[in-house]
Copies of this chain bind each other. A is one copy, B any other.
Amino acid sequence: MSLRDATPASPATLTTTLAGRLRGAILRGDLEPGSKLVLDRIRAGFGVSLSPLREALCRLESEGLVEAEDQRGYRVSPVSADNLTEVIRLRVELEGMAVREAILHGDAAWEGRVVSALHQLSRCVRGARSEEEQEAWEARHRAFHAELISACRMPLLQQFCETLHDQSDRYRRIFLKDHAPDRDVPAEHAAIAAAMIERRAEEAVRLLREHVERTGRNIQAALRGAV
């Protein structure tokens, strides 16, 4: 379903690998928002040819991480308060819908996956020392949120949610780089998971909304400060 882990069976094509590396670089903030992506330089940097690079960028474009303009190449999508507001707003609406559906359709296997994802997330530390540990947390965090809605039976909606989640992750990682989280995020995750498994739909939606909007407000504050 996901754009990210499409086919672990067949050997990943160079394009797919490259897209992953570039996505990481953008989400991590290594590639600055708005900066121009000079194809030849990246090509040289990654030691690949232009064809797979162009295709990888095309995929990232569909995820909204880069923008292309005919005859003028690619650039990393710029950030703005308005864009962030929209991303948060859409996350709340779409993930809310997905959560309701998942609660409706989820079975025991799904509950198991949610519990497992929550547990694995809890074993990672957020403000990790090493880059590597941070990446591990990010991956688990993304996986947890994806699992919550994995039973919604709406593949398109799941994809929209994933895209939006990546977008807001980028903001968080760029602007909340070395902010100690001011709140008990693990507890929030646990509460959301519990509400979902116990089929308390309205509460789950509310908790998720507060979780998302709280992060959004923190980023907005940092963003205003960063201007």
Chain B residues with CB under 8 Å of A12's CB are 70
Q: Quick check: A71 and B13 within 8 Å, CB to CB?
A: yes
Q: Quick check: A69 and B160 within 8 Å, CB to CB?
A: no
Q: Quick check: A69 and B6 within 8 Å, CB to CB?
A: yes
Bin chain A's interface residue count.
35 or more
Contact of A86 among B58, B86, B156 (CB under 8 A): B156
Contact of A55 among B6, B54, B155 (CB under 8 A): B54
Chain B residues with CB under 8 Å of A89's CB are 154
Interface residues of A in 43-61 (CB under 8 A from B): 51, 54-55, 58-59, 61
Contact of A69 among B10, B15, B164 (CB under 8 A): B10
A62 within 8 A of B: yes
Chain B residues with CB under 8 Å of A7's CB are 69-70
Q: Quick check: B90 and A154 within 8 Å, CB to CB?
A: yes
A129 within 8 A of B: no
Minimal Cβ-Cβ distance residue in B for A54: B55
User: A87 with B16: in contact, given A6-B69, A58-B58, A70-B10 (CB under 8 Å)?
Assistant: no
A72 within 8 A of B: yes
Q: Quick check: B155 and A11 within 8 Å, CB to CB?
A: no
Distance to closest chain B CB from A153 (angstroms):
8
Chain B residues with CB under 8 Å of A72's CB are 10
Q: List 14 A-B contacts (CB under 8 A).
A: A10-B69, A10-B71, A10-B72, A11-B71, A12-B70, A13-B71, A15-B70, A16-B70, A55-B55, A61-B62, A86-B156, A86-B157, A89-B154, A90-B156
Q: Which 5 A-B pairs have the closest CB atoms?
A: A62-B62, A58-B58, A13-B70, A10-B71, A7-B70
